[in-house]
Amino acid sequence: MALKTAQEYVDSLRELKTRVYMFGEQIENWVDHPMIRPSINCVAMTYALAQDPQYKDLMTVKSSLTGHTINRFTHLHQSTEDLMNKVKMQRLLGQKTASCFQRCVGMDAFNAVFSTTYEIDEKHGTNYHENFKKFLIYVQDNDLTVDGAMTDPKGDRSKSPSQQSDPDMYVHVVERRPDGIVVCGAKCHQTGSINSHWHLFMPTIAMKEADKDWAVSFACPTDAEGMYMIYGRQSCDTRKLEECASVDVGNAKFGGQEALVVLDHVFIPNEYIFLNGEYEFAGMIVERFAGYHRQSYGGCKVGVGDVVIGAAALAAEYNGVEKASAVKDKLIEMTHLNETLFCCGLACSAQGCKTKAGNYQIDLLLANVCKQNVTRFPYEIVRLAEDIAGGLMVTMPSQKDFNSDTVVGRNGETIGEICEKFFAAREGVSTEDRQRVMRFLENMCLGAAAVGYRTESMHGAGSPQAQRIMIARQGDIEGKKQFAKEIAGIE
Per-residue pLDDT reduced to its tens digit, 191-211:
999 999 999 999 999 999 999
Q: Which one of the listed residues 60, 191, 222, 355 is annotated catalytic?
A: 191
Q: Using one digit for the tens of pLDDT, what is the confidence trace for 335-358?
A: 999 999 999 999 999 999 999 999
300 counts as catalytic: yes
Q: Which one of the listed residues 188, 258, 278, 370 is annotated catalytic?
A: 258
15 counts as catalytic: no
CA–CA dist 304, 444 (Å, integer)? 9
β-strand 20-22 against 227-231: which pairing, if any? parallel
Q: Is the dihedral of CA 200, 201, 203, 209 positive or negative?
A: negative
pLDDT surpassing 70 at residue 1: no
CA–CA dist 162, 405 (Å, integer)? 64
CA–CA dist 142, 111 (Å, integer)? 18
| Average pLDDT score over residue span 56-65 | 97
Q: Tell me phi and psi for residue 432, to 5 degrees.
A: -65, -40
Specify the 3-state DSSP secondary structure of 275: strand
Tell me what pLDDT residue 119 has: 98
456 counts as catalytic: yes
117 counts as catalytic: no
Q: Which one of the listed residues 60, 97, 100, 370 is annotated catalytic?
A: 100
pLDDT surpassing 90 at residue 169: yes
191 counts as catalytic: yes
In contact, 295 and 373? CB cutoff 8 Å: no
Q: Which one of the listed residues 42, 104, 220, 419 is annotated catalytic?
A: 104
Q: Which one of the listed residues 297, 318, 360, 453 is annotated catalytic?
A: 297
Q: Which one of the listed residues 184, 188, 220, 300 is annotated catalytic?
A: 300
Domain ranges of the chain: 6-282, 287-482
Cα 24 to chain centroid, rounded: 25
297 counts as catalytic: yes
Closest CA to 396 of 368, 428, 361, 436: 436
Specify the 3-state DSSP secondary structure of 464: helix
CA–CA dist 65, 62 (Å, integer)? 9
42 counts as catalytic: no
Tell me what pLDDT residue 170 has: 98
Q: Using one digit for the tens of pLDDT, what is the confidence trace for 15-34?
A: 999 999 999 999 999 999 99
Fold of 287-482: Butyryl-CoA Dehydrogenase, subunit A; domain 3 (1.20.140)
Return the CATH superfamily for domain 6-282: Butyryl-CoA Dehydrogenase, subunit A, domain 2 (2.40.110.10)
Q: Using one digit for the tens of pLDDT, what is the confidence trace for 351-379?
A: 999 999 999 999 999 999 999 999 999 99
Residue 266 CA: distances (Å) to CA of 154, 221, 226, 412: 20, 11, 5, 65
What is the pTM (predicted TM-score) of this model?
0.97
The share of the chain scoring above pLDDT 70, in percent, equals 100
Tell me what pLDDT residue 156 has: 98
Closest CA to 298 of 267, 344, 262, 259: 344
pLDDT surpassing 90 at residue 168: yes
Q: Which one of the listed residues 278, 287, 442, 456 is annotated catalytic?
A: 456
Q: Is the dihedral of CA 356, 361, 363, 365 positive or negative?
A: negative
100 counts as catalytic: yes
CA–CA dist 322, 320 (Å, integer)? 6
Q: Using one digit for the tens of pLDDT, what is the confidence trace for 114-165?
A: 999 999 999 999 999 999 999 999 999 999 999 999 999 999 999 999 999 9
Residue 454: band (very low, low, confident or very high) from pLDDT cuts 50, 70, 90: confident
Q: Which one of the listed residues 292, 293, 344, 453 is annotated catalytic?
A: 293
Domains 6-282 and 287-482 agree in fold: no
